[in-house]
């Protein structure tokens, strides 16, 4: 088996293993796995409404996945996507609500605000990593909590003690009557095109720009990059900033498309953490992220159908997602297994 095939097989096997263990969990707890997965399937593809909602759910996942993948490619681990997404969500919701502008200015401005907020949230860990060699994993985790509490406090202050901001103006909305009618009045919005455009942007930066080449070089080997005359510090900071901007745009999907406002939260959205899985499954490539996001977006939205159609708690899908992450992380052992298998075949 060639390396390329193994690289493809590891995520596929991880997904299958995750679904299998999920089935076992359902069996053990007295549910019918066939009915469960049928309900899941129908929840995703059942009718045009379900498909519309599924695609809507995929958009923030694409951006969260891009954020993690972009950092990964440059040798950084961004666990702060969750926080960057929350500040992006807030920035977009605020700009969308507070200003009165024509649509051509308002919508881009709101998107830009989200990207900028996420970028700032990525800048801090980037700066600390570049200048003081502080590990970005811990800083980004801490930044998640800081984002959550600050955004909740801001919502409270701006709304005068309330728990959510007013709806955004129509001029900042990503809502689309056309897409909505096309999918039997689902909440599908233009965000998916923004997400796909960002996939292109990530590919363009990494594969077509000098900046991308430098970022990847720093990720491969910092010392070599330094020796080649690249500014390692600048590249680390830039990588985190760009990664954060992707995540912030993920928040804009929720603010300008799905919800049209922001409410204070007791906990995280989970999208940022699932973004880690999305990126891992997609092997940290832009195209791979689309596949990873499609899988996780579908699972997450389709799961909503499981309690009604098969009477199975929605959390079973969270278990499956966590297991898939676990198996992808343990890819080494799957690789070893595959290699042994292929060697046996050759021997025969």
Partner 1 sequence: MSTLLNVLYIIVPLSIAYAAPLIFTAIGGVFSERSGVINIGLEGLMVMGAFVGIVFNLFFADTFGAWTPWVSILAAMLVSAIFSLMHAVASITFRADQVVSGVAINLLGIAIALFSVKMIYGKGQTDFIQEKIARFNIPFLKDIPVLGPMFFKSVYGSSILAISIAVLAWFIIYKTPFGLRLRSVGEHPMAADTMGIKVNRIRYIAVIISGGLAGMGGAVYAQTMTNDFGHATINGQGFMALAAMIFGKWHPIGAMGAAIFFGFAQALAINSSSLPFMENVPSFVLYILPYVLTIVALAGFIGRANGPKALGDPYVKGSR
Binding residues for partner 1, rule: CB under 8 A, are 25, 29, 77, 79, 124, 128, 132, 134-135, 137-139, 141-143, 145-146, 149-150, 152-153, 266-267, 273, 276, 280, 313, 315-316, 318-319, 321-323, 325-326, 328-333
Between residues 104 and 266, which has the closer beta carbon with respect to partner 1? 266
Angle between helices 136-158 and 103-132 (to 10 degrees): 140
Q: How far is CA 14 from each of CA 21, 271, 320, 334, rounded to the nearest angstrom?
A: 11, 20, 10, 8
Q: Residue 164: helix, strand or coil by DSSP?
A: strand
- 88 contacts 247 by C-beta, under 8 angstroms: yes
Taking the complex as a whole, the smallest distance from the CB of residue 4 to partner 1 amounts, in Å, to 21
235 C-beta neighbours (distance < 10 Å), count: 24
257 alpha carbon, distance to own chain's centre: 16
d(CA 121, CA 292): 24
Taking the complex as a whole, the smallest distance from the CB of residue 180 to partner 1 amounts, in Å, to 31
Q: Residue 249: helix, strand or coil by DSSP?
A: helix
Between residues 7 and 330, which has the closer beta carbon with respect to partner 1? 330
Between residues 218 and 316, which has the closer beta carbon with respect to partner 1? 316
Between residues 60 and 272, which has the closer beta carbon with respect to partner 1? 272
Taking the complex as a whole, the smallest distance from the CB of residue 128 to partner 1 amounts, in Å, to 6
Nearest alpha-carbon partner for 54 in 167, 174, 192, 177: 192
Compute φ and ψ for 189, nearest 5 degrees.
-135, 180
- 31 contacts 311 by C-beta, under 8 angstroms: yes
Q: In DSSP terms, which residues pair with 164 in a beta bridge?
A: 263
d(CA 168, CA 153): 19
Taking the complex as a whole, the smallest distance from the CB of residue 153 to partner 1 amounts, in Å, to 4
Between residues 12 and 209, which has the closer beta carbon with respect to partner 1? 12
Taking the complex as a whole, the smallest distance from the CB of residue 320 to partner 1 amounts, in Å, to 9
Nearest alpha-carbon partner for 26 in 17, 15, 36, 16: 36
Between residues 231 and 264, which has the closer beta carbon with respect to partner 1? 264
d(CA 173, CA 253): 10
Between residues 188 and 325, which has the closer beta carbon with respect to partner 1? 325
Compute φ and ψ for 175, nearest 5 degrees.
-55, 145
DSSP string, 70-129: HHHHTT----THHHHHHHHHHHHHHHHHH----HHHHHHHHHHHHHHHHHHHHHHHHHHH
Between residues 209 and 329, which has the closer beta carbon with respect to partner 1? 329
Taking the complex as a whole, the smallest distance from the CB of residue 151 to partner 1 amounts, in Å, to 9
Taking the complex as a whole, the smallest distance from the CB of residue 331 to partner 1 amounts, in Å, to 7
- The set of residues, in sequence order, having a beta carbon less than 8 Å from that of 28 and lying 6+ positions away, is none
Taking the complex as a whole, the smallest distance from the CB of residue 330 to partner 1 amounts, in Å, to 4
Between residues 134 and 228, which has the closer beta carbon with respect to partner 1? 134
Taking the complex as a whole, the smallest distance from the CB of residue 279 to partner 1 amounts, in Å, to 10
């Amino acid at each position: 088996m060639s390396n390329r095939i193994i690289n493809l097989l590891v995520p596929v096997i991880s997904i299958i293993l995750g679904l299998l263990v999920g089935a076992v969990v359902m069996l053990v707890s007295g549910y019918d796995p066939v009915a469960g997965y049928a309900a899941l399937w129908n929840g995703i593809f059942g009718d045009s409404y379900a498909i519309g909602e599924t695609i809507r759910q995929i958009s923030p996942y694409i951006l969260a996945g891009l954020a993690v993948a972009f950092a990964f490619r440059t040798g950084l681990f961004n666990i702060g996507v969750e926080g960057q997404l929350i500040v992006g969500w807030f920035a977009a919701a605020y700009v969308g609500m507070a200003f009165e502008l024509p649509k051509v200015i308002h919508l881009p401005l709101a998107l830009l605000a989200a990207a900028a907020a996420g970028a700032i949230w990525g800048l801090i860990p980037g700066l600390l990593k570049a200048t003081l060699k502080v590990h970005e994993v811990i800083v980004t985790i801490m930044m998640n909590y800081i984002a959550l509490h600050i955004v909740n406090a801001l919502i409270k202050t701006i709304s005068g003690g309330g728990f959510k901001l007013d709806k955004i103006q129509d001029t900042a909305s990503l809502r689309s009557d056309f897409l909505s009618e096309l999918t039997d009045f689902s909440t599908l919005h233009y965000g998916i095109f923004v997400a796909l455009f960002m996939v292109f942007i990530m590919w363009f930066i990494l594969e077509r720009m000098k900046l991308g080449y430098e970022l990847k070089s720093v990720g491969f080997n910092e010392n070599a990059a330094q020796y080649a005359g690249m500014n390692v510090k600048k590249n680390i900071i830039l990588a985190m900033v760009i990664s954060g901007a992707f995540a912030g745009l993920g928040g804009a999907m929720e603010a300008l498309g799905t919800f049209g406002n922001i409410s204070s939260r007791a906990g995280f959205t989970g999208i940022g953490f699932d973004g880690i899985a999305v990126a891992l499954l997609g092997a940290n490539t832009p195209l791979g992220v689309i596949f990873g996001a499609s899988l996780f977006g579908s699972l997450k939205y389709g799961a909503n159908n499981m309690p009604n159609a098969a009477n199975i708690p929605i959390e079973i899908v969270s278990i499956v997602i966590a297991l898939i992450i676990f198996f992808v992380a343990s890819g080494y052992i799957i690789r070893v297994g595959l290699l042994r298998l292929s060697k046996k075949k050759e021997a025969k």
